[in-house]
Amino acid sequence: MSTEDQEDELLALTSIYAEDEFKRTDAAAGGEFQLCLELPSDFVVSIKSNSATNSSADNFENTVSFLPPIVLNFELPPGYPSTTPPNFTLSCKWLTPTQLSLLCQRLDDLWEENSGCVVIFPWIQFLKEETLDYLNIKSPYEIDVSSNGLQSWMQTTEKTCEDGVLLEKAPYDKRAIQDVQSVPALVRCILDFNEAQQKKVFDNKPFLCNICFMEKLGSECTHFKACEHVYCNYCLKDYFVVQIKDGQVHALNCPEPKCPSVAIPAQVKDLVGEQLFSRYDRLLLQSSLDLMADIVYCPRLTCQTPVMQEPGGTMGICSVCQYAFCILCKMTFHGISPCKEPEEKPVELNEGDESDDEDWKRVMEKAFDKKKNIEWIEENAKPCPSCKVPIQKDEGCNKMTCSRCKQYFCWVCLKILPTANPYRHFEDPLECLKELKPPEEEEY
């Protein structure tokens, strides 16, 4: 009769609880429960190891929505449920052996209260719904970690006086296990579990996309964590593809107007695929190198490898093609001789040229074009006060937005403007004049 009761109880538990919460043991009548407790909002946990070698790396504090589960392993003996209680162990990473021992004692009490009846379901209900109140756990909660880890709590310790008389027995139940090997491992486990559970909740929750105005599950959406905005993957993919093809790799931000949140590379890769992501990655690297003052490019059109300038020198040596060149005129390195930049298009490029060095012709043509571009930029553009990229003003007011770093600035005085209220700078018509006024004239 007891065997039938055990089988009925296990079948009932299997039908009630999800597979990731309860797994039945095939070899014996028993199973394992992974019990994730419902925490209050803004629940703060901290860890301060009591190890003698405690360091700043062993201390941790963070706000979490989920903590690793309490694990109940049980086996139903032949006499269960008539006369014998289940055999069990209770393990957890963030509860101390003392706290776990109190829970073990409470499970024993529940067996006594329900003697002769199946008891696993009442045990699970208690652990899931009453553990925090029963142990008086509130935020902020400090996790106590043993210096020796798991093994120091698995044995009952005794203290004796000099004559061998037993004085004290540590109140740790042998069924209570704090499954902790080290503080860094515990911190990583808490953060990984919290992130995985948050992703699971997000995937199963519906969200409204503000681009297509359709409601979709989180598993079909992308979440910008900095601003909490959510858009469906279909719309966001189209948005990112257009930006990358146009070379606007610094504009892969949240589509919400004026939102500064930026997509991380992993999100971009998941949406646009490997091929387009390679272009995004290459352009992003190139734009970062362009901002570095000590980086130049190999002038050979077939190479174009980034080259780091030697401090105080004018020579660059390409690490790929080994071409040694002058970083000023981009010609073959000429030592202390002055650069020979053409003031007009070289005669070698005209019809009837007898030179057959096509690579040299292309270099000279590129040098000529670059010189003309620099002259045009100096006459028609101003440098962004933040990243120094040249900006041209073709229309509109004097409040400018850098196309590269998105910084607001004034076109007249090049002052960086605050993101919150950039137009406040223009409320006083004399503001720009103050910025431009030479210091020696301020006294008059």
What pLDDT does 367 receive? 61
Is the preceding peptide bond at 140 cis, omega within 30 degrees of 0? yes
Kindly report which listed range (95-104, 146-155, 271-280, 374-383) carries the lowest average pLDDT score.
146-155
What pLDDT does 208 receive? 93
Average pLDDT over residues 83-108: 92
CATH 3.30.40.10 fits 206-290, yes or no: yes
Count Cβ atoms below 10 Å from residue 110 Cβ, excluding itself.
16
Both tokens of 291, joined, read 């901002």
Average pLDDT over residues 112-119: 87
What pLDDT does 352 receive? 43
Identify the active-site residue in 339, 397, 402, 410. 397
Residues 358-388 have pLDDT tens digits of 555 665 666 666 666 677 777 788 888 877 7
The listed range with the strongest mean pLDDT (120-124, 165-169, 422-426) is: 120-124
Tell me the percentage of the chain whose pLDDT exceeds 70.
Answer: 79
Is the preceding peptide bond at 81 cis, omega within 30 degrees of 0? yes
Kindly report which listed range (7-21, 65-79, 205-219, 335-349) carries the lowest average pLDDT score.
335-349
What pLDDT does 417 receive? 85
| CATH architecture of residue range(s) 2-192 | Roll (3.10)
Both tokens of 334, joined, read 């000429």
Q: Where in the chain is the domain with CATH 3.30.40.10?
A: 206-290
Local structure of 241: helix, strand or coil: helix
Residues 181-190 have pLDDT tens digits of 788 888 999 9
Type and span of the H or E element at 223: strand 221-224
Residues 289-309 have pLDDT tens digits of 766 667 788 888 778 888 887
What pLDDT does 294 receive? 74
Q: Where in the chain is the domain with CATH 3.10.110.10?
A: 2-192
What pLDDT does 162 receive? 43
- 191 CA to centre of own chain: 11
Q: What is the pTM of this model?
A: 0.58
Kindly report which listed range (89-103, 363-377, 398-412) carries the lowest average pLDDT score.
363-377
What is the number of H-type helices and E-type strands within the chain? Answer: 9, 22
Res. 58 pLDDT band, cuts 50 70 90: low
Known active-site residue 397: yes
